[in-house]
Amino acid sequence: MEAHEYFLALGVALVVGTLIGFEREQAYHERHKSSVPLGGARTQPLFALLGATSAIVAQKVGAVAFAIALAGLLVLISLSYLEDVRAGDRGLTSEAALLLTFLLGALAATPGIVEPFGQRMLLVLATAVVATFLLSAKAPLHAFIEKLSLEDMFAALKFLIVAVVVLPLLPDRAYGPLEVLNPLRIGLMAVLIAAIGFVGYVAVRLYGPRRGLGMTGALGGLASSTAVTLSFSGRAKGAPGPLAESLALGVVLASSIMFVRILVAVAVVNASLVHLLVIPLSAMGTTGLIASGVLYRRTRKVLEQAADVKLHNPFELWQALRFALLYAVVLWVSKAATTHLGTGATYAAGVLAGLSDVDAITLSMANLSRAGLRQEVAVTTILLAAASNTVVKAGMAVVVGGWPYGRKVAIALGIVIAAGLAALIPVWIG
């Protein structure tokens, strides 16, 4: 290391220790007003500097200098932990934070582990920021964990097994007639949709389904706008007028969020389609939000009432396999229709696929466009699928929730569809 790099390393170590130390002292004083924390605003920076200094000295006299400093720290941590155990506190958070601060200081001043020097400093700072966040997020993390069920944890582990273990093992080559069925890409699409749904599900569990019908509809739209439609429509049957309008707001809002979800999925798979899709999807989403705003103004007070939406964890192995199979079928049918029957059959495939699931046809068209399908055809098919899916939800609202309620949803979603189809005209003219 150059001379100036030693000074920079010590400076970074000081910043890291100060950041973690401030958080530890503030958190400790909130719980123990008169106590002295282990590793506060002065101790943490000192041990970060100790770690950096011992690492610098070790480069000249050997690893024994670092070992002595680390051993001394471990003795102090052990004594502090034994004292905490006697007092009835078995937590290791403060002890772990102090040890991490020491090691981050040592890492900052140790060349050869992470190079170049700038990347090592960035790694040390990033680790300190993440550690400080975890330390300060105790209350919300514990509250969130209390809301999770064993089923949620099991589903999350299954998702990670599929995404991290199974997915990399899938072959990355095309199989079957027309050579469009790539197991790795099919698996990626299934994981992508599961991940988007999982984010919406976690948001609902984090904020709770009782924060108002509008928020529930918006968050539920990330996971499943169809689930929101069925749940809200079931509650709307025979509900008073103001409550029915609030439930209609949740459905329209969830359906509007669906267009955002489609755009995100396309951007991940084939960003070249975004410039053609952004105007129609934005028109549909914006129109839906305007309709939601009108409903919101009419039913603002009712939004404080509780809303129970039966959203299940979006990741189940069977659901992932079902989507992968559906995606493969839609992909092959779309390719076959385009190859042998022309674009009209592709549009028909989009409408039919959208009746049950808009994600499969969306991702299929995004991938086929990369393989040579005209962008205008892919975009039109995606929008027809979105329109078809929206029509189905309007029908669900009418059938399940009754005509007085369903009429409000159908009118709003009908305007949304009209806006999207009108915005599609420039795609073809351009």
First to last CA, the chain: 58
Confidence label for 193 from pLDDT (cuts 50, 70 and 90): low
185 and 130: one domain?
Answer: no
Confidence label for 327 from pLDDT (cuts 50, 70 and 90): low
Q: What percent of the chain has pLDDT over 90?
A: 26
Q: What is the pLDDT of residues 198-241, one digit of tens each?
A: 665 665 566 654 555 566 677 767 767 776 787 678 777 766 66
- Domain boundaries, position 23: 3-136
DSSP 8-state symbol, 243 = H
Q: Is there a domain that residue 142 lies in?
A: no
Q: What is the pLDDT of residues 153-170, one digit of tens each?
A: 777 787 788 888 888 888
Six-digit token pair at 417? 């569809």
Six-digit token pair at 241? 């007028």
Residue 400, pLDDT score: 83
- Identify the burial level of 418 via C-beta atoms within 10 angstroms of its C-beta, where 0-12 means exposed, 13-18 middle and 19 or more buried: middle
128 and 152: one domain?
Answer: no
194 and 294: one domain?
Answer: yes
More reliable by pLDDT, 93 or 342: 93
- Identify the burial level of 78 via C-beta atoms within 10 angstroms of its C-beta, where 0-12 means exposed, 13-18 middle and 19 or more buried: exposed
104 and 154: one domain?
Answer: no
Low-confidence winner among 39-48, 63-72, 164-173, 299-308 (lowest mean pLDDT) = 299-308
- Residues 60-83 have a mean pLDDT of 89
Q: Is there a domain that residue 76 lies in?
A: yes
Q: 175: which strand partners?
A: 181
CB 424 within 8 A of CB 258: no
More reliable by pLDDT, 206 or 74: 74
CB 358 within 8 A of CB 385: yes
Distance in angstroms (rounded) separating the CA atoms of residues 239 and 111: 69
- Residues 125-145 have a mean pLDDT of 87
Q: Is there a domain that residue 143 lies in?
A: no
175 and 94: one domain?
Answer: no
Name the amino acid, one letter, at 282: S
Q: Which of 311, 259, 313, 316 is nearest to 285 (CA)?
A: 259
The number of distinct structural domains making up the chain is: 2
Confidence label for 192 from pLDDT (cuts 50, 70 and 90): low
Q: What is the pLDDT of residues 22-43, one digit of tens each?
A: 988 887 776 665 455 677 888 9
Q: What percent of the chain has pLDDT over 70?
A: 77
22 and 99: one domain?
Answer: yes
Q: What is the pLDDT of residues 370-406, one digit of tens each?
A: 888 888 888 888 999 899 889 888 988 888 888 888 8
Distance in angstroms (rounded) separating the CA atoms of residues 199 and 203: 6
CA distances from 341 to 326, 344, 346 (A): 21, 7, 8
The three-class DSSP label of residue 181 is strand
Confidence label for 102 from pLDDT (cuts 50, 70 and 90): very high
Distance in angstroms (rounded) separating the CA atoms of residues 267 and 186: 17
Residue 306 has pLDDT above 50, yes or no: no
Q: Which of 395, 209, 197, 206 is nearest to 310 (CA)?
A: 209
Question: What mean pLDDT, rounded, does the chain reach?
Answer: 80
Confidence label for 120 from pLDDT (cuts 50, 70 and 90): very high
